[in-house]
Amino acid sequence: MPENKRPEMPKFIYIHIPFCQSKCFYCGFFSRPADKRDVEKVLDAEIAELKKSAIYRPVETLYIGGGSPACIGGQTLCDFLKKILAITGQTKEFTVEINPNDADEKLFAELKNVGVNRISIGAQSFVQSELDFLGRKYTPEKIFQTIQSAKKSGFKNIGIDLIFAIPNSNLKSWCQNLQTAIGLDIQHISAYSLTYEKNTPLEKSKLSGIVKSVDENADREMYETAIKTLSAGGFEHYEISNFAAAGFKCRHNLAYWKNEQYLGVGPAAASSSGNFRFENVNDIDKYVQRIGQNEDAADEKIIITDIERAAQTAVLNLRLTEGINLAEYKQKTGFGIYELFKASVEKNLKSNLLELNGGCLRLSKNALPIADFVLCDFAEPDENRVGFRRR
């Protein structure tokens, strides 16, 4: 029986804390300024949602993201995390996202005490003018202090996020950012190109011509520089945008790219459970109300067919630099990659955008900067595949 036929329960849990001190210029995440009453209501509802969800215990990973989880206050956050752990059991990887503005040594010590073992810091840039552009309300000095505080409290698995292709940046400032990151003696770096999310002030400024995005060639050069510089600095490039020191790949995010089952708790959190995909309502009051009335927090549950799931697995696996392990893929999805994607595989092998190596099909070096373009070919199985009908 292929693994996808087995009833599964998520072992990877994401919990969304939808609050921030203020809204960043570019932010498309679901979050709003923290109000004490809202915070209490949401946290209680999240505990209730988690309690009634079918999960595998003990879970493999717990990831507390947002928003800015620590902006609700250190004591409140740690009390909440203890309640979460009482439901899930101890976990191998327990990550909390931290905004440099919200954390000090006391908070890190408390998080360590609770059992958190991984810290993900939303640094974004070490150049003040770039932080100002993004609407991040801290200084590069504050990022350094935050990382030092986490280290002093005993954290040995610290990651940061960086953003490139910020309109007032250039290759020189990006190289500076990368070198600074390498010098911090941290374990994980995510490097994303700035995206112009719908309905954000950033997108509106671009549409009205106030902001001009970095041109495609410069964006590509910055991305390729990140791969070169971080690899030379001892970080393994293991996913399109992610780099890790040996032994420090993010297990939680690997679960997404392996298309494992996961549960998202909280407003706007997404889940993939059994043959369903769903996203909780992105409205705090409606979320709290639905949970309070023992209703489903999701608006709609989408049924994923075996073929759709196999296509998603192909797209997600290709994001990893190791690519699709063809034997594992067949075992997991019940389909061979050539059975579903013969034409797409052949076309991209021929144009050197894909390569086959040691039983794995992966993006070539040339394809990495244009990954989305290649991944589109795997969003749906080949049309001429026997028995395929486009819905």
Please report whether residue 100 would count as binding ligand SF4 according to CB under 6 A.
no
Please report whether residue 201 would count as binding ligand SF4 according to CB under 6 A.
no
Please report whether residue 29 would count as binding ligand SF4 according to CB under 6 A.
yes
Toward ligand SF4, which CB reaches closer, 55 or 268?
268
Chosen residue from 13, 15, 17, 20 binding ligand SF4 by CB under 6 A:
20
Please report whether residue 25 would count as binding ligand SF4 according to CB under 6 A.
no
If binding means CB under 6 A, how many residues of this protein chain bind ligand SF4?
11
At its nearest, how many Å lie between ligand SF4 and the CB of residue 202? 11
Chosen residue from 4, 88, 95, 99 binding ligand SF4 by CB under 6 A:
99
Whether residue 58 has a cis bond before it, omega within 30° of 0? yes
Toward ligand SF4, which CB reaches closer, 131 or 158?
131
Q: Cα 55–112–87 angle (5° rounding)?
A: 20
Toward ligand SF4, which CB reaches closer, 189 or 345?
189
At its nearest, how many Å lie between ligand SF4 and the CB of residue 140? 16
52 contacts 85 by C-beta, under 8 angstroms: no
At its nearest, how many Å lie between ligand SF4 and the CB of residue 96? 13
Strands of 61-66's sheet in order across: 236-239, 242-244, 188-193, 158-164, 118-124, 93-98, 61-66, 12-17, 262-265, 270-273, 276-280, 298-303
At its nearest, how many Å lie between ligand SF4 and the CB of residue 68? 5
Q: Cα Rg for the chain, rounded, in angstroms? A: 21
Chosen residue from 10, 69, 100, 122 binding ligand SF4 by CB under 6 A:
122
Please report whether residue 31 would count as binding ligand SF4 according to CB under 6 A.
yes
Interface residue list for ligand SF4 (CB under 6 A)? 20, 23-24, 27, 29, 31, 66-68, 99, 122
